[in-house]
Structure 1
């Protein structure tokens, strides 16, 4: 190994690596400090109401079409989900809108599988 290569490796270890470690630390710290977003779905009666609530609480763009295909597109590339979301009244939603609640939960869990660096903790209660 030439002295140039050794010098380059040493400079990398001394200057670049510490900044990268600090960057990772800041990301983890931000995640731990982020409060939980509460979404009360206990009064939702229709699919339209559910999509409107999600659009408002998750700050979806105006062009959100309020359907499940659009929901997936938005959460998988347009917005960053908060670190924690607690769905209050989830059991009532599952009774009133079983198909919609299943689709939504599946998409949210799929989001975490496909984007492990942008995981969101979901609490369904």
Structure 2
């Protein structure tokens, strides 16, 4: 399991920096949602359990980024890894 603290982030740029660091994306990661999709589907192995801390604050401060992260992980699960568990502190568990 990887636990990622997303509290205290105030823009998508910071969110992508945290995702790159915590998920081990390469230095050439493009810091956008298309690049995130490419990274999780072909560049790095995502562990079977992700846990996001501070989700409610992220959803309030960076609503579009939070929605895109959730949507992209949902699509990844539906397409490639239905067994993947993603938890959002203060939100629903997948």
Structure 1 residues without counterparts, runs of 5 or longer: 1-35
Structure 2 residues without counterparts, runs of 5 or longer: 90-94
**Root-mean-square deviation (Å):** 1.1
For the residues of structure 2 that align with 1:87 and 1:47, how far apart are their CA atoms? 15
- When you count helix as a share of all residues, which structure comes out higher? 1
Counterparts of 1:73-92 in structure 2, within 5 Å, are 73-92=38-57
Verify: 1:120 aligned to 2:89, yes or no. Answer: no
Verify: 1:68 aligned to 2:33, yes or no. Answer: yes
TM-score normalized by the length of structure 1: 0.68
Higher relative contact order (CA 8 A, sep 6+): 2
1:116 is paired with a residue whose SS is: coil
Q: Which residue of 2 aligns with 1:24?
A: none
For the residues of structure 1 that align with 2:18 and 2:75, how far apart are their CA atoms? 21
2:31 is paired with a residue whose SS is: coil
For the residues of structure 2 that align with 1:120 and 1:80, how far apart are their CA atoms? 12
Q: Aligned in 2, Cα 1:113/1:74: closer, same or farther, shift over 3 Å? A: same
For the residues of structure 2 that align with 1:113 and 1:46, how far apart are their CA atoms? 27
Larger C-alpha radius of gyration, 1 or 2?
A: 1
Counterparts of 1:1-125 in structure 2, within 5 Å, are 36-116=1-81, 119-125=83-89
Number of equivalent positions = 89
